[in-house]
Amino acid sequence: MTKAIRFEKTGGSDVLQYVDVDLPPPGPGQVRVRNTAIGVNFIDTYQRTGLYKLPLPSGLGSEAAGIVEAVGEGVSRFKPGDRVGYASGFVGAYAQAANVPTARLMKLPEGISDEIAAAAMLKGMTAQYLLRRIHPVQAGETIVFHAAAGGVGQIAVQWAKHLGATIIGTTTSPSKVEQCKANGCAHVLNTHDAGWEKKVREITGGAGVPVVYDSIGKDTFLAGLDCLRPRGIMVTYGNASGPVDPFSPALLAQKGSLFVTRPILGHYTSTPEELQQTADDLFAVLASGAVKVAINHRYALKDAAKAQDELVANRTTGATILIP
């Protein structure tokens, strides 16, 4: 038996139930992880509301750090006592313990605490593939990064600055402007202000930016295209305000032969090797001190619904974790 958050139907946070569940011994290729800290991510809310579909009833949560308690048949890379983390390609992290496929498991280095790992793996590996692989950020570039005070935002903005970029960050919450600046934004715009995209043009002397990293979706996508220089890339990687409306590819020609990509972390961590390399790149930048992770919100596992409500209501900065 273990305590876990489960839900039987999609909806508001009141569908989340804190219940006892049977946890069988880990199956072939799985290990049982005793979770010590659990990451809260926006994707958890998309899955709860049904925007991203899960077979129901279901557990919830993609990310946690913990200790290997038992290993299933055929597992040789991990042994009981190992400190590990997982952060995508698995659902059911909102639990005291979970059986996780080793293909999604990473070893945690000394110097990265369980709480920091749970707060940083999913968000930081996302920052890694956004900044280092989709559009490798170059020193001297000016870029737009939306939700710059948020969980992904705090890591990505510090990392982009470390790479030598000038960051135009955005927030819809005036109270978070200082946090955006503290993360490393040279300019902070409010995307609720009409014409914010024109300010991006002004800041770049009319040139536009080579890349917009957009996790807001519906509210910011079109204006974001107007921030881009010719052949720039719009990286639309989230839906905090709802999914992007359909549009014609001809729009991309009209606005400067633009590129658009809609990536997910799973496709950038598709093998155990790629997963561990992505994590190691993140752990290195954390260990160097160039990127610091603020865990600004901690909740007991049983209060997962409250943690999600705060995230969705824009009342969080930095990372939120659950303690089992």
Ligand X SMILES: NC(=O)c1ccc[n+]([C@@H]2O[C@H](COP(=O)([O-])OP(=O)(O)OC[C@H]3O[C@@H](n4cnc5c(N)ncnc54)[C@H](OP(=O)(O)O)[C@@H]3O)[C@@H](O)[C@H]2O)c1
To ligand X, the closest distance from the beta carbon of 290 in angstroms equals 19
105 or 125: whose CB is closer to ligand X? 125
Cβ nearer to ligand X, comparing 268 with 283: 268
Minimum distance of ligand X from residue 179's CB (angstroms): 8
Query: To the nearest whole angstrom, how small is the minimum distance from the Cβ of residue 275 to ligand X?
Result: 13
Closest CB 166 distance from ligand X, rounded Å: 19
For the bound state, the minimum distance from the C-beta of residue 264 to ligand X, rounded and expressed in Å, comes to: 4
Q: Give the residue among 223, 181, 221, 217 at the shortest CA–CA distance from 200.
A: 223
Query: What's the number of CA atoms in the CB half-sphere (13 Å) around residue 105?
Result: 24
Taking the complex as a whole, how short is the minimal distance between the CB of residue 294 and ligand X, in angstroms? 11
CA distance 226 to 40: 32
Task: Report CA 222 to chain centroid distance, whole Å.
Answer: 22
Contact 23, 306 (CB under 8 A): no
| DSSP element (H, E) containing 236 | strand 228-236
Q: Which is nearer to ligand X, 51 or 207 (CB)?
A: 51
Our CB check for ligand X shows the closer of 91 and 147 to be 147
The Cβ of residue 36 has, within 10 Å, a number of other Cβ atoms equal to 19
Residue 195: count other Cβ atoms within 10 Å of its Cβ: 11
| Alpha-carbon span 15 to 11, nearest angstrom | 6
Q: Which is nearer to ligand X, 78 or 299 (CB)?
A: 299
126 vs 158, beta carbon nearer ligand X:
126
CB atoms within 10 A of CB 60: 24
The DSSP secondary-structure symbol of 239 reads -
Q: Name the minimum Å distance from CB 272 to ligand X.
A: 18
312-316 contacts at long range (C-beta below 8 A, 24 or more positions apart): 312/45, 314/172, 314/173, 316/150, 316/151
Of the pair 49, 314, the CB lying nearest ligand X is at 314
Cβ 9 to ligand X shortest distance, Å: 22
Q: Which one, 41 or 99, has the nearer CB to ligand X?
A: 41
The amino acid at residue 269 is T
Specify the 3-state DSSP secondary structure of 302.
helix
Among 155, 122, 143, which Cα is nearest to 186's? 143
Applying CB under 6 A, the residues found at the interface with ligand X are: 41-43, 122-123, 126, 147, 149-153, 171-173, 176, 215-216, 219, 237-241, 263-265, 311-312, 314, 316
**HSE, side-chain direction, 13 A CA sphere, residue 114:** 17
Q: Which residue is closest to ligand X by CB?
A: 150
Q: How far is the CB of 191 from ligand X (least distance, A)?
A: 7
Which residues neighbour 77 within 8 Å (Cβ) at sequence distance 6 or greater? 102, 105, 272
Looking at beta carbons only, is 71 or 225 nearer to ligand X? 225
